[in-house]
Amino acid sequence: MFFDFAKMWNKKFELPSKIARALGLPKIVYGADYEDFYNYTVSVEKQNPLPAYEIMKRYCDLLQNKPKLFDLLEKEFQQRHKLYLEAFPHFLEGDKNLKEKALKAAEMSYRKALAIYPFFSNGRLNLGFALRELSLVEESCEIYEEGLQYDPENPLLLTNLGRSLMILMDKDVTKYRERAITVFQQGLKLLGGGDYFCLEQLEKLGVYVRIYSDPKDPSSVRFITQDDFEKAIKKSMEEAKTQVERVNIFLNIIRDNRRTLFLELWPKYGERKLFAEIAALNMWYLFEGFSLRMRAS
């Protein structure tokens, strides 16, 4: 007998509705590849006593027991991958132009690519950088904000948005300060959740917002107290080892279920990316973590 895990989880653990939909209905937000579902597990892990490995195992079981759902998700994945392959030459051209400092040509190439495949955060990051180098800083903010709609917890998109806002605040503090405070708030949440990659830029943005805050209005700095920042750093330290474990779990799931899902179509860089992330997390914990512990103690 097949159990409706989505209904069971929703009743027992009160999972967010999008998770229940992802597990129980034939549609998943942003498609249905491993990276997307891994993001789901991370986002609900603290609310759900089931570990990420068990969640993903049941997800694979669900697809095995619902062939129509599997077929639909595979079709959606293939379509998304087809668009990625169509856009990829434009991304490569953009990278080549950017390396050669042909900024306007790079902008055009990245825009062509993102028009076909808007989900690619790295291409959007490079487009934002090219625009900033062209002194089109406001446009770079728009590009980063669009990217955050597709990938709302991407620390690189967020910190680059903060970097552009710092430039704009030098020109018009009144116009951009509230946006900078909002970005700083979002960054604190990411930092508290273990995304420590944004730490340095977040700290710089916090300094900028403090400098430009209105001293006559105490509420203008209510979101950026030193206590908030230190709490976020400490929480990030607690999460660092867990992040390494999550990536390893994710990699094992991919290996164990290569024939179960769509990994025949998964680009080889996907696994390389995971290995690189494991290495980066370990290096950060060994070398960067010490200075953070000292600052947060």
- What is the mean predicted confidence (pLDDT) over 128-142? 95
**Residue labelled with tokens 């986002």:** 43
pLDDT band (50, 70, 90) for residue 83: confident
Asked if 126 and 94 count as a contact pair (C-beta separation under 8 A), the reply is yes
Q: What is the pLDDT of the chain when averaged over all its residues? A: 63
Q: Which amino acid is it at 105?
A: A
Asked if 164 and 131 count as a contact pair (C-beta separation under 8 A), the reply is no
pLDDT at residue 260 is higher than 50: no
Six token digits for residue 114: 């993102």
Stretch among 42-51, 91-100, 149-158, 226-235 having the lowest mean pLDDT: 42-51
For the whole prediction, is pTM greater than 0.75?
no
Query: Which of 78-87, 168-177, 223-232 is the most confident on average?
Result: 168-177
* End-to-end alpha carbon distance in the chain: 53
Distances (CA, A) of 71 to 26, 65, 68, 184, 286: 10, 12, 5, 42, 44
pLDDT band (50, 70, 90) for residue 175: confident
Check residues 277 and 190 and name the one with the higher pLDDT: 190
Stretch among 88-102, 169-183, 220-234, 258-272 having the lowest mean pLDDT: 258-272
Per-residue pLDDT at 72: 58
pLDDT at residue 105 is higher than 90: yes
Six token digits for residue 234: 């400490």
pLDDT in tens, 20-77: 344 432 233 333 344 444 455 445 444 444 444 455 555 555 555 656 655 655 565 5
